[in-house]
Amino acid sequence: MFRPASSKAAAVALAMLLLLTAHTGCSPSVTPSKPVAAHADHDHDEPTSFADGIAKLESLGGDLAKKLDEGAGEAADDAVHDLGHLLEEVREFAKKESFAGDAAAAVTAALDELEECFGKVDEAFHSGDDKADPAKVLDSVKERLTAAFTALKSPKSPKSPKSVGAVGAVESPTAVEEVK
């Protein structure tokens, strides 16, 4: 057992131990991803399908723009974080859909694009640069966001039996049923 020579040495040893414990206990770590149903603490409703998730992403993106226009910085930052969580949920729904070939690649690319664009806005919030303006960043990626949402609303796979007679329909069982 460690026995310090004096009470002063004991205090120093204890302080060093506490500092070491605090330092290692507070170090950044990777947070394990939560299952889709575990996001009840966020402001958005859980999506019920891929198409519903896309609609919720688009709506939350509009809310983000509105909050930034109103100067509601903290609420806008929360909206960006909610968008990130919602994107994870939509990716899970995309995996369950029957997208094939080009459609699967288009969905993945569009979701990646949304993640990158909203990630740039998040970086503006947390960059530490007083000149970083999340509203300007969002405005600078507006066309990219629009293109990504357009691609997500109508991913098609050529020669798919589900798309016969359903021009522009999303290649998923639920969406095909809606088109009929």
pLDDT score of 154 = 85
C-alpha span between 86 and 80 (Å, rounded): 10
* CA distance linking residue 70 with residue 158, whole number of Å: 44
State in Å, rounded, how far the first CA of the chain is from the last one: 78
The pLDDT of residue 155 is 77
Token pair 């859980």 is found at 46
Mean pLDDT of the chain: 73
pLDDT tens, 53-65? 999 999 999 999 9
Q: 45-155: what fold?
A: Four Helix Bundle (Hemerythrin (Met), subunit A) (1.20.120)
Q: For 116-173, write each residue's pLDDT tens digit.
A: 999 999 999 999 888 899 999 999 999 999 999 999 998 764 433 343 333 333 333 3
In the chain the beta strands, taken as DSSP E runs, fall at none
**11-20, 84-93, 98-107: which is most confident:** 84-93
Burial class from Cβ neighbours inside 10 Å (0-12, 13-18, 19+) for residue 167 reads exposed
Q: Is the pLDDT confidence value at 20 over 50?
A: no
Torsion of CA 28, 32, 37, 41, to 10 degrees: -10
Q: What is the pLDDT of residue 31?
A: 37
Count other C-beta atoms under 10 Å from residue 79's C-beta: 25
